[in-house]
Amino acid sequence: MSRPLHVALAGNPNSGKTTLFNNITGAHQHVGNYPGVTVEKREGRCRYADRDVLVVDLPGTYALTAYSAEELVARQFLLEEKPDVVVDVIDASNPERSLYLAVQIIELKIPLVLAFNMADVAAARGLTFDTHLLSRLFGAPIVSTVGNKGQGTDALLEAARLVADGQFDSPAPEIRYGPEIEAELERLAQSVAQAAIQGDREARWVALKLLENDEAVRVTAPAALLAQADAAAARLRSVLGDSPEVLIGDRRYGFISGACQEAVRSSVEARHTMSDKIDAVLTHRILGLPIFLALMYLLFTVTFKLGNIPVGWLESLFAHFSDAVSSLWPAGSESMVRALLVEGVIGGVGGVLKFVPNILILFLGIALLEDTGYMARAAFIVDHLMHKIGLHGKSFIPMLIGFGCSVPAIMATRTLETRRDRLTTMLVIPLLSCGARLPIYMLLVPAFFPTAWQGPVLFSLYLIGIVLAVGGAKLLRATIFRGEPEPFVMELPPYRMPTARALGIHMWQRAWMYLCKAGTMLLAASVVLWAMTAFPRKPHYDRDYAGEIARVQASLAASTQPAQAAQHETALADLRQARASEDLAYSLSGRIGQAMAPAIKPLGFDWKIGTALVGALAAKEVFVSQLSIVYAVGHADESPERLGQRLRLEYSPLQAYCIMLFCLISTPCVATMAVVRRESGAWRWMFLQIGALTGAAYGLTLLVFQVGRFFTGTP
């Protein structure tokens, strides 16, 4: 004989618990009181599948907080008696409200069955449920019951037996509370684990309750832990502008409302709250996507238009700075130290730092969309699309972060449940144009395209990246990572006014990553790459540059006519430029570029672009600093010509576009490679990514350049 199956019935008041309880146990029941409180305790027995079943009807509650005697009793029972399975009786005519309790039971990690009772009322109200999906989302079997007609009782018992015996295999979802709360939770949970309170309860749950200010848990916690929890709560309040209790509740409701949006259909739309009203427009089946695209377009336009004003200021600031450093040496001096400082350090890092305003605006925009709650909707809007490419709607968030930087984006794939989803997402993320590509676009787009074309050109690049990422994901899901997609559950927390502080922090965190890269990786890369362009030095030239330059300088000094002087100036610049080109061609960098030249010629690239592409390996934005070094060589004495104008003399708009396209698609930067290696746990994924992306970049750029050349007639 197996031991009796221990079942507890939980649910909101009037959800029909007692009715179901009576259906299950018939006359075999006993009514008493829970010790010490005037809360009725009903216990009963029945036999099902040759097994004794012991059923307890818990008091009706909406939550498992510690506010009322009923809640406390229900919670204490679940925690201490540890039933084999809890049947949460859901009022199916009002699922969103009823499911709140279910989420809290899930958080207690107790095996769960959901009884969608009042199925008759729900049907009369025009509600239909995708129970298969719901059951996967909540990690619990769902049985539809009509208590007062005795329908569904056996199915309920069967589901309870299945779950109790561990035969139901959808895992319970893990509710996530957003980066700030999660960070505090993790820290608190560590202290909880050390303090070893609450017996065998999960440390994370105890930490959550402490943040929620739960009295019953607080009384068990030592003073130091309480102080830590209060400090954490205060921090959260000051950053997010609301108490952790409210924020945590919002997330739970968000989870439920996301699940219901997906799996519950209503023939009569009933919109209530402000958030619902906003959602009616923003997540509208038809309007949703265009609104989303329009917002993205707006974001990128503002990033450009507004951002370029301070970029100009920074540009002149760096120009002054390099002039000031230059003037420490006598005019016309050939000092290597000066060249290193002016061209390597200031030129390289400055070329990247001046784009900080654009990056700040972009990140502020993303933070704004995230903190208001729109980003969660965006994921929801694209979920249908995401499913079409075989990805989970949740993959969208890492992908969006990918527009900022691939590194945190790849780390964000940790929220995905299956390895298949994780790897697929991780592998395509570098195709989403990260912030580091922005400097390349911002150099080339304004230099080569008329104002009216700048927005569309930029947008097209982002779009190509997205299309390729989608195609890549689809391909991966159809080949290496075949399998059914995970069910989607996207949290839809209420819209909220973001606090300036949270916006600032979120914007800054991402910008800081960019700055750190400029300060460390980029500085090192700039210096190394500058050295690669400066060494080895050419021992002797075919032409006598020194003699020719001296002669022209002498005639320049002697010339009295302005027109004549200008002529000499030009001759001087040409001479220096010619010598610089020879120097560069002789240098290590130039040699690598030249070795690459035949291979990249069909793409419309010369060896200088090849040289810069080598630099872009360190980080995408190095491409820009590398180009500025390549073209600044030999120009140190003249007024610094703007790089963009300089490039326009060398390349056509088609070539510029091809350069951007290649930079968009080709090999990710070393930091990305490293994080893919780490997060995927295997070298082969990293190499697959590098190979596939570089191959795709080559193929597509080749196509665009050759076709474009045919139509535009450029040589």
Which residues contact ligand GDP by CB under 6 A? 11, 13-19, 60, 117-118, 120-121, 146-148
Amino acid at 593: G
- What is the C-alpha to C-alpha distance for residues 427 and 406, in angstroms, rounded to an integer? 10
The nearer residue to ligand GDP, 17 or 204, going by C-beta atoms, is 17
Tally of residues, the chain: 715
- What is the C-alpha to C-alpha distance for residues 89 and 20, in angstroms, rounded to an integer? 9
The nearer residue to ligand GDP, 37 or 216, going by C-beta atoms, is 37
Q: Please give the residue whose beta carbon sits closest to ligand GDP in the complex.
A: 147
Which H/E stretch holds residue 493? none
Q: Two tokens at 620?
A: 């995408």
Report the nearest approach of Mg ion to the CB of residue 72 (Å): 17
Report the nearest approach of ligand GDP to the CB of residue 364 (Å): 49
- Measured distance between the N- and C-terminal CA atoms of the chain, rounded to whole angstroms: 88
* Helix runs in 242-395, H state only: 244-263, 274-282, 288-305, 308-326, 336-339, 348-353, 356-372, 374-381, 383-388
Paired sense of beta strands 112-117 and 85-91, if any: parallel
The nearer residue to Mg ion, 18 or 611, going by C-beta atoms, is 18
Q: Please give the residue whose beta carbon sits closest to Mg ion in the complex.
A: 18
Q: Which does 147 bind (CB under 5 to 8 A by kind): ligand GDP, Mg ion, none?
A: ligand GDP
- What is the C-alpha to C-alpha distance for residues 274 and 703, in angstroms, rounded to an integer? 50
What are the beta bridge partners of residue 45? 54
Q: Measure CA 44 to chain center.
A: 51
Report the nearest approach of ligand GDP to the CB of residue 207 (Å): 31
Q: Which does 689 bind (CB under 5 to 8 A by kind): Mg ion, ligand GDP, none?
A: none
Report the nearest approach of Mg ion to the CB of residue 15 (Å): 9
Q: Which does 14 bind (CB under 5 to 8 A by kind): Mg ion, ligand GDP, none?
A: ligand GDP
The nearer residue to Mg ion, 18 or 145, going by C-beta atoms, is 18
The DSSP secondary structure of 650-711, one letter per residue, reads H--HHHHHHHHHHHHHS---HHHHHHHHHHHS-HHHHHHHHHHHHHHHHHHHHHHHHHHHHH
Report the nearest approach of ligand GDP to the CB of residue 79 (Å): 21
Report the nearest approach of Mg ion to the CB of residue 11 (Å): 9
Which H/E stretch holds residue 506? helix 500-517
Task: Say what the alpha-carbon torsion angle 503, 509, 511, 516 is, to the nearest 10 degrees.
Answer: 160
**SS3 state of residue 345:** helix
The nearer residue to ligand GDP, 92 or 397, going by C-beta atoms, is 92
Amino acid at 155: A
233 contacts 243 by C-beta, under 8 angstroms: yes
Q: What is the CA radius of gyration of the chain?
A: 33
The nearer residue to ligand GDP, 87 or 436, going by C-beta atoms, is 87
Q: Which does 121 bind (CB under 5 to 8 A by kind): Mg ion, ligand GDP, none?
A: ligand GDP
The nearer residue to Mg ion, 18 or 61, going by C-beta atoms, is 18
The nearer residue to Mg ion, 18 or 326, going by C-beta atoms, is 18
The nearer residue to ligand GDP, 122 or 580, going by C-beta atoms, is 122
**SS3 state of residue 120:** helix
The nearer residue to ligand GDP, 71 or 250, going by C-beta atoms, is 71
The nearer residue to ligand GDP, 148 or 577, going by C-beta atoms, is 148
Q: Which does 146 bind (CB under 5 to 8 A by kind): ligand GDP, Mg ion, none?
A: ligand GDP
Q: Which does 349 bind (CB under 5 to 8 A by kind): ligand GDP, Mg ion, none?
A: none
- What is the C-alpha to C-alpha distance for residues 607 and 178, in angstroms, rounded to an integer? 47
Peptide bond into 456 cis (omega under 30): no
Report the nearest approach of ligand GDP to the CB of residue 101 (Å): 12
The nearer residue to ligand GDP, 14 or 706, going by C-beta atoms, is 14
Give backbone dihedrals phi and psi of 170, rounded to 5 degrees, phi first: -75, 125
Q: Which does 242 bind (CB under 5 to 8 A by kind): Mg ion, ligand GDP, none?
A: none
Report the nearest approach of ligand GDP to the CB of residue 151 (Å): 8
The residues of the shown chain that bind Mg ion, judged by CB under 5 A, are 18
Q: Two tokens at 622?
A: 């190095």
What are the beta bridge partners of residue 42? 31, 57
Report the nearest approach of ligand GDP to the CB of residue 9 (Å): 8
Q: Two tokens at 392?
A: 């989970």
Q: Which does 120 bind (CB under 5 to 8 A by kind): Mg ion, ligand GDP, none?
A: ligand GDP
Report the nearest approach of Mg ion to the CB of residue 14 (Å): 8
> b/e map of 405-444 (b: 16 or more CB within 10 Å)?
bbbbbbbbbebbeeebbbbbbbbbbbbbbbbbbbbbbbbb
Report the nearest approach of ligand GDP to the CB of residue 51 (Å): 24
- What is the C-alpha to C-alpha distance for residues 40 and 54, in angstroms, rounded to an integer? 17
Q: Which does 13 bind (CB under 5 to 8 A by kind): Mg ion, ligand GDP, none?
A: ligand GDP
- What is the C-alpha to C-alpha distance for residues 410 and 487, in angstroms, rounded to an integer? 21
What is the number of H-type helices and E-type strands within the chain? 35, 9
**SS3 state of residue 202:** coil
Report the nearest approach of ligand GDP to the CB of residue 152 (Å): 9
636 contacts 343 by C-beta, under 8 angstroms: yes
**SS3 state of residue 143:** strand
The nearer residue to ligand GDP, 125 or 235, going by C-beta atoms, is 125
The nearer residue to Mg ion, 18 or 667, going by C-beta atoms, is 18
Report the nearest approach of ligand GDP to the CB of residue 155 (Å): 13
Q: Give the burial class of 659: count Cβ atoms within 10 A of its Cβ; 0-12 exposed, 13-18 middle, 19 or more buried.
A: buried
Report the nearest approach of ligand GDP to the CB of residue 63 (Å): 15
